[in-house]
Amino acid sequence: MSNYQLIDILDAPIISEKSTIAAEKDNRFVFKVKKQATKIQVKKAVEAMFSVEVDSVHVLNVKGKKKRFGKTLGQRSDWKKAYVKLKPGHDISFATP
């Protein structure tokens, strides 16, 4: 895969209380990724974008919630997220320089 295809794999980092605690405690970062992304593609994309070494990747599918829009029932889209654990000594900073 080219670098352009790898960069397209990652949609956005997920910044929440749970992901912040995981980053501080276990050096684990959470990303929203494309639905068809694999563990190997996510690993290569993170290594290419942030110049770090990845220890492990866990991906999971998040089911969309059933919601009501006025009188009609609907459902939000399903999506996939990845927990990326970095090797010791590596870190990702999302703050702007």
Instruction: Write phi, then psi, for 11 (nearest 5 degrees).
Output: -90, -55
Q: Say if residue 96's pLDDT is above 60.
A: no
pTM for the full predicted model: 0.87
| CA separation for the pair 19, 29 (Å, rounded) | 7
The string of pLDDT tens digits covering residues 35-68 is 999 999 999 999 999 999 999 999 999 999 999 9
Q: What is the mean pLDDT of the chain?
A: 92
